[in-house]
Structure 1
Amino acid sequence: MHKPSISIITVVYNAATSIEYTIQAVLALTYPNKEYIIIDGGSTDGTVDIIKRYERHISKWVSGPDAGLYDAMNKGLEMSTGDFVWFINAGDAPASPDILERVFTGNSYADIYYGDTMIIDENGKKIGRRRLSPPSALKWKDFRKGMLVSHQSFIASRKVVKKYDLRYKFSSDFDWCLYALKNASKVQNTHLILSLFRDGGITKKNIIPGLKERFQIMVKNYGLISTLLAHLTITPKFFWFWIKHKRF
């Protein structure tokens, strides 16, 4: 039985301490119908040397300057050929080697597969599941409650995605996932932890501008009044979790 092909894309810049962890985890995937693409932003810290060490196992990789995270992710999309795309960026990892066999089951396939995310520390130790839990049946309107599914646990058909909007520097993934959900005919909950997400990174370091962008995206999709009302619930929960756990 034909199984869909998937392009796994890793975007990296000066992450010599974490890129090998991600490469090894992706290469350990046992799903046969996959390609692995790495987009490096012109790293100067030894990241490229690590990539070269594995390049015979990597489908495609490039290194050079870009206009930021989402420009690099657009490069990955342009280079990809799979039926599905899955972004596993530097420091993150698929949840297990057999996770894609567990996702792509049956004889027909959804447009989007989603699941939960396990947060890990810099040593790969599990911290706990993400603050927001995936709903049993995900619809685009559910993102009024926040990004209920992390980007690393969102596997999308190329038929329903677009390029990342470069107007957003920190939250374009929120916009991208919303667009895909709006265009999807079938969205499937895998009921699995799909990815391991390293705590920290660009989003955490730029949390306030990221939240401002997310607010703008929500207004664009849901309207101002609906977004303001949603934030009456979102904001207190967010800051309470942040104060208690020092993460989001």
Structure 2
Amino acid sequence: MKISVITVCYNSAATLGDTLASVATQDHPDIEHIVIDGGSADGTPALVEREGGHVKVFVSEPDKGIYDAMNKGLAHATGDVVGFLNSDDVYAHPGVLSRIASVMADPALDACYANLYFVDPRQLDLIRRVWRSRDYVPGLCARSGWMPAHPTFYARRSVYAEYGGFNLDYALQSDFDMALRLLDIHHIRTRFVPEFWVRMRMGGASNASVRNVLRGNLEAWRAVRSHNIPVPPWFILVKLASRLSQFADRSLDIR
């Protein structure tokens, strides 16, 4: 099973080396690592040339933002299964992609996902938050703003071919819109694997400020409404409250 891993980046020279090394040390034998750069000026392309010997596709050109870059990655992907690893994230251990391949060997599945650690930007073994996911039940995304941890979400390439890529109308929550479309609307068949697959550095555009957090939640609300799904009045409050448990749970079990 070929697995395509898409990494999008822009001026990521400070962290991308960790991501490249994490993919290169995975023990799965058939990995297509695709790196889409937005035209960085900080030495990112030189870093990929120097440390990305395993990278199969590298594109460096201006884009319209992170989700446009992700769509470019999807267009280049040739794997049976596709996932995304951000340019400041790493896998929890070298066997993650092999584990994903074993799960996706079940032909009844369209996608799988797992748990995620938020870690200190300078100490990747220091956990700051934990994103524990759950089994999906119909309507969960629209009711509460829930979504799987996107860096742990691996779907068959045929899913994206059939249902399309990321909607550029949402600058911060297009990954939520994608989850909403695939799970609530198109009812793809998923499996939650109760393991930790990714260590994600704290930060990111959607959490960069209180303004972005509020803007992101409004985008999620708008995404639900755009699909003519009734939005409960407590939607944004429930979505915000769902993050509180992440701060309370700081399990040290990285595996």
TM-score exceeds 0.5:
yes
Residue 29 (structure 2) pairs with residue 32 (structure 1): yes
| Cα deviations by residue, 1:14-51 (Å, 9 ceiling, x for unpaired) | 01110001110011111012200000000001111111
Q: Which residue of 2 aligns with 1:183?
A: 186
Q: How far apart, in 1, do the equivalents of 2:48 and 2:228 lie?
A: 42
Q: Greater CA deviation, 143-152 or 169-178?
A: 143-152
Q: Greater CA deviation, 39-48 or 182-191?
A: 182-191
Q: How far apart, in 1, do the equivalents of 2:169 and 2:44 lie?
A: 28
Q: Which residue of 2 aligns with 1:166?
A: 168
After superposition, the Cα gap between the structure-2 partners of 1:58 and 1:233, relative to the gap in structure 1 and judged at 3 Å, is closer
The residue type equivalent to 2:150 in the other structure is H
Give the one of 41, 45, 69 matched to 1:44: 41
The residue type equivalent to 1:201 in the other structure is G
Q: How far apart, in 2, do the equivalents of 1:242 and 1:66 lie?
A: 32
* SS of alignment partner, residue 232 of structure 2: helix
Q: Which residue of 2 aligns with 1:203?
A: 206
The residue type equivalent to 2:127 in the other structure is I
After superposition, the Cα gap between the structure-2 partners of 1:221 and 1:228, relative to the gap in structure 1 and judged at 3 Å, is farther
Q: Give yes or no for contact 1:91–1:198 (8 Å, CA) kept in 2.
A: yes
Q: Give yes or no for contact 1:160–1:184 (8 Å, CA) kept in 2.
A: no
Q: How far apart, in 1, do the equivalents of 2:170 and 2:29 lie?
A: 35
Give the one of 204, 227, 232 matched to 2:232: 227
Per-residue deviation, 1:140: 5.0
Per-residue deviation, 1:186: 2.4
Alpha-carbon RMSD across the aligned residues, in angstroms, is: 2.3
After superposition, the Cα gap between the structure-2 partners of 1:67 and 1:164, relative to the gap in structure 1 and judged at 3 Å, is same
Structure 1: segments with no counterpart, 5+ residues: none
Matches within 5 A, 1:98-177: 98-105=95-102, 108-109=106-107, 110-123=109-122, 124-131=124-131, 133-135=132-134, 137-143=135-141, 144-161=143-160, 162-177=164-179
Q: Give yes or no for contact 2:119–2:127 (8 Å, CA) kept in 1.
A: yes
The residue type equivalent to 1:97 in the other structure is P
The residue type equivalent to 1:194 in the other structure is W
| Identity rate, percent | 31
Give the one of 204, 207, 218 matched to 1:212: 218
Give the one of 10, 15, 20 matched to 2:17: 20
Q: How far apart, in 2, do the equivalents of 1:221 and 1:141 lie?
A: 12
TM-score in terms of structure 2 length: 0.84
Structure 2: segments with no counterpart, 5+ residues: 250-255
Q: Greater CA deviation, 215-224 or 119-128?
A: 215-224
Per-residue deviation, 1:125: 3.0
Q: Give yes or no for contact 1:112–1:154 (8 Å, CA) kept in 2.
A: yes
Q: Greater CA deviation, 212-221 or 40-49?
A: 212-221
Per-residue deviation, 1:192: 1.2
Q: Greater CA deviation, 189-198 or 41-50?
A: 189-198
Per-residue deviation, 1:130: 3.0
Q: How far apart, in 2, do the equivalents of 1:95 and 1:140 lie?
A: 29
Q: Which residue of 2 aligns with 1:90?
A: 87
The residue type equivalent to 1:141 in the other structure is G
